[in-house]
Amino acid sequence: EAQVTQNPRYLITVTGKKLTVTCSQNMNHEYMSWYRQDPGLGLRQIYYSMNVEVTDKGDVPEGYKVSRKEKRNFPLILESPSPNQTSLYFCASRTGGVNEQYFGPGTRLTVT
């Protein structure tokens, strides 16, 4: 089954404790991206990757890092999480052409 998976689905952590949210897709898509969704602000793009070792900032990259060492994986790293990063995070992928994006199920992160 074609899908985008994220882990963990739910995470509660404390300020400053480094964490990684994993994202994996099994569709051989070149393009992957991360979004956060907040009430009243909607979905905003954090980072995207056009292919292995090629990444770029989205609209709200501050406080996040990403890496793309393999085509199927695109982890999101929070080096020093803060409460304002409490949010619902989505990973997505699509082919390099003009095709629709597929979204993961979401990761709900709470930073206290």
Partner 1 sequence: KQEVTQIPAALSVPEGENLVLNCSFTDSAIYNLQWFRQDPGKGLTSLLLIQSSQREQTSGRLNASLDKSSGRSTLYIAASQPGDSATYLCAVYSGAGSYQLTFGKGTKLSVIP
Q: Which residues lie near partner 1 (CB under 8 A)? A: 31, 33, 35, 40-45, 48, 50, 56, 58-59, 90, 92, 98-106
In angstroms, what is the minimal distance from the CB of 100 to partner 1? Answer: 4
**CB contact at 8 A, 6 and 21:** yes
CB closer to partner 1, 41 vs 77: 41
In angstroms, what is the minimal distance from the CB of 43 to partner 1? Answer: 4
**CB contact at 8 A, 73 and 85:** no
DSSP state of 28: -
In angstroms, what is the minimal distance from the CB of 51 to partner 1? Answer: 11
**Helix or strand run (H / E) with residue 25:** strand 19-25
